[in-house]
C-alpha cells in the first residue's frame, strides 16, 4: 500500500494565477497513491479562494485518488497558523507543504516517498530546488542525500525549502510564535534534523519563484525572526560560520532600515565570528549609502542566492 499524502497550500488569495499553477502541479504528480490537498485561506474568505481554484484538476496516474478542500485558517493569522490548520485537517500518512507561489515539478512526490521508504527511521524529507527569478532558472543542490542538524546550523541551505518538505504525520508542527511568520521553515527543519537527519533528494523537483514573496523588504520582521532563531537555537551562535551569516543578515536588515549604528554593531560581530564575512561588508556598503538593499538583492537573486 502506498502511503497517502496530504498537501497544505496556504494562500492570501492575492495571486490566483500562481495559486492555480501550484495546485495543478500538486494534483498532476505521477504518484500513484492518494493525494489530498488543503488550500488554507489566510486573511481572506475561503469562499473567494474556492472560486479561484474551481475546476482545477491534475492528471495523475489512472485510478489515483485526488481531492481538494478549501478552508479558512482556524489558527493564528499568518503562515505558521495556516500550515498548522492544514496539518490538522489532513488525515494522511504523510504531509507536505507547497507555497502558493511555488511549483512542484514532475516526480517530486514519487522520489521523496521512495526516499523515506528506504530509510524507515527518517521522518522528514526535502529536495533540491530550481530558483526562478525573472527569466532565469537556477538549480540549487545540496550535494548530499542527508541533511544534518550541523549542516543546517552552518548554513541555511535554502534548498531545504518549505515547499520541498514532506514528513510523516505527527513528526512536525509549525511554531506559531515565529515573529511575522519569519524563519518558521528553518526552525522546523532544524528541529526535524535534530531528531534524525533529513532525507534529501538532490534533484530540482520544486520551482521556487522569487519576486512575488510577501516577506521581501519586511526588514523589521526579518530582524525579529533572526533574533527569535538565535534565542531558540543557541547552536547557531556556537558555530562560527553560521553565526557570522546570521549576524551579517542582521547587519544588512538594519542597514536597509537606515540604522547605521546597529548595522555597524552587527557587522563587527559578524567579522569577529568569521573574518571577511561578505554579508557584513555588504551591510556596511548599504549603511554608507553606496548601494541600495534592493540593488543588492537583485544581483544576488540573479545568481539564485539571497542575503
Longest dimension (CA), the chain: 62
pLDDT tens readout for residues 44-81: 999 999 999 998 877 678 778 999 999 999 999 999 99
Q: Supply the pLDDT for residue 112.
A: 98
Q: Compute the average pLDDT of residues 81-109.
A: 97
Q: Supply the pLDDT for residue 55.
A: 86
Assess whether pLDDT exceeds 70 at residue 160: yes
Q: Supply the pLDDT for residue 173.
A: 94
Q: Compute the average pLDDT of residues 12-25.
A: 96
Assess whether pLDDT exceeds 60 at residue 214: no
Cβ-count burial 4-28 (b if 16+ within 10 Å, e if not): bbbbbbbbbbebeebbbbbbbbbbb
Assess whether pLDDT exceeds 80 at residue 297: yes
Could you give the percent of the chain with pLDDT greater than 90? 90
Q: Compute the average pLDDT of residues 167-177.
A: 93
The residues near 227 (Cβ < 8 Å, ≥ 6 apart) are: 250
> Look-up: residue for cell 500550515?
83
Of 12-16, 37-41, 54-58, 70-74, least confident by mean pLDDT is: 54-58
Q: Compute the average pLDDT of residues 98-119.
A: 97
Of 47-61, 118-132, 176-190, 285-299, least confident by mean pLDDT is: 47-61
| Closest by Cα among 81, 10, 13 to 52 | 13
Assess whether pLDDT exceeds 80 at residue 157: yes
Assess whether pLDDT exceeds 70 at residue 28: yes
Name the average pLDDT for the chain: 94
Q: Supply the pLDDT for residue 1.
A: 79
In the chain, what is the straight-line distance between the N-terminal and C-terminal CA atoms, in Å? 43
Q: Give the chain as a DSSP string.
A: -PPPEEEEEEE-SS-HHHHHHHHHHHHT----S-EEEEEEESSS-HHHHHHHHTT-----STT--EEEEEEE--SSSSHHHHHHHHHHH---SEEEE--TTEEEPTTHHHHHHHHHHH-TT--EEEEEEEEEETTEEEEE--SSSEE-HHHHHH---TTS-GGG-EEETTS----TTSGGGTTHHHHHHHHHHHHSPEEEEEEEEEEEEET--SSTT-HHHHHHHHHHHHHH-THHHHSHHHHHHHHHHHHHHHHHTT-HHHHHHHHHHHHHHSTT-HHHHHHHHHHTTSS-HHHHHHHHHHTT---
Query: Three cell numbers at 9?
Result: 497550500
Residues 155/141, Cβ–Cβ less than 8 Å: no
Q: Supply the pLDDT for residue 176.
A: 95
Q: Supply the pLDDT for residue 216.
A: 65
Q: Identify the structural domains of the chain with CATH numbers, from first to last.
A: 5-210 (3.90.550.10), 219-302 (no CATH)
Assess whether pLDDT exceeds 70 at residue 215: no
Length of the chain: 307
Sort residue 99 into left (φ over 0), alpha (ψ -120 to 50) or beta: beta
Could you give the percent of the chain with pLDDT greater than 70? 98
Amino acid at each position: 500500500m502506498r502511503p497517502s499524502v496530504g498537501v497544505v497550500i496556504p494562500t492570501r488569495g492575492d495571486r490566483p494565477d500562481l495559486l492555480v499553477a501550484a495546485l495543478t502541479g500538486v494534483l498532476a504528480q505521477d504518484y500513484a497513491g492518494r493525494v489530498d490537498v488543503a488550500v488554507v485561506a489566510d486573511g481572506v474568505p475561503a469562499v473567494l479562494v474556492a472560486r479561484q481554484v474551481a475546476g482545477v484538476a491534475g492528471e495523475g496516474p489512472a485510478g489515483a485518488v485526488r481531492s481538494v478542500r478549501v478552508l479558512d485558517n482556524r489558527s493564528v493569522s499568518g503562515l505558521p497558523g495556516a500550515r498548522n490548520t492544514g496539518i490538522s485537517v489532513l488525515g494522511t500518512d504523510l504531509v507536505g507543504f507547497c507555497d502558493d507561489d511555488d511549483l512542484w515539478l514532475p516526480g517530486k512526490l514519487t522520489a521523496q516517498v521512495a526516499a523515506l521508504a528506504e530509510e524507515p527511521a527518517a521522518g522528514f524529507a526535502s529536495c533540491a530546488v530550481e530558483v526562478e527569478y525573472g527569466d532565469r532558472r537556477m538549480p540549487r543542490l545540496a550535494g548530499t542525500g542527508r541533511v544534518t542538524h550541523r549542516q543546517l546550523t552552518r548554513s541555511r541551505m535554502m534548498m531545504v525549502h518549505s515547499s520541498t518538505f514532506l514528513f510523516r504525520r505527527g513528526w512536525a508542527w509549525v511554531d506559531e510564535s515565529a515573529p511575522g511568520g519569519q524563519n518558521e521553515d528553518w526552525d522546523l527543519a532544524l528541529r526535524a534534523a535534530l531528531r534524525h537527519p533529513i532525507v534529501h533528494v538532490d534533484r530540482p523537483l520544486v520551482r521556487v519563484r522569487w519576486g512575488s514573496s510577501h516577506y521581501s523588504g519586511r526588514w523589521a520582521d526579518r530582524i525579529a525572526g533572526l533574533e527569535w532563531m538565535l534565542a531558540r537555537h543557541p547552536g547557531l551562535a556556537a558555530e562560527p560560520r553560521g553565526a557570522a551569516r546570521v549576524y551579517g543578515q542582521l547587519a544588512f536588515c538594519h542597514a536597509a532600515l537606515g540604522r547605521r549604528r546597529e548595522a555597524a554593531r552587527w557587522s563587527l560581530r559578524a567579522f569577529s565570528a568569521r573574518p571577511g564575512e561578505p554579508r557584513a561588508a555588504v551591510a556596511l556598503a548599504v549603511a554608507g549609502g553606496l548601494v541600495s538593499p534592493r540593488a543588492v538583492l537583485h544581483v544576488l537573486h540573479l545568481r539564485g542566492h539571497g542575503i
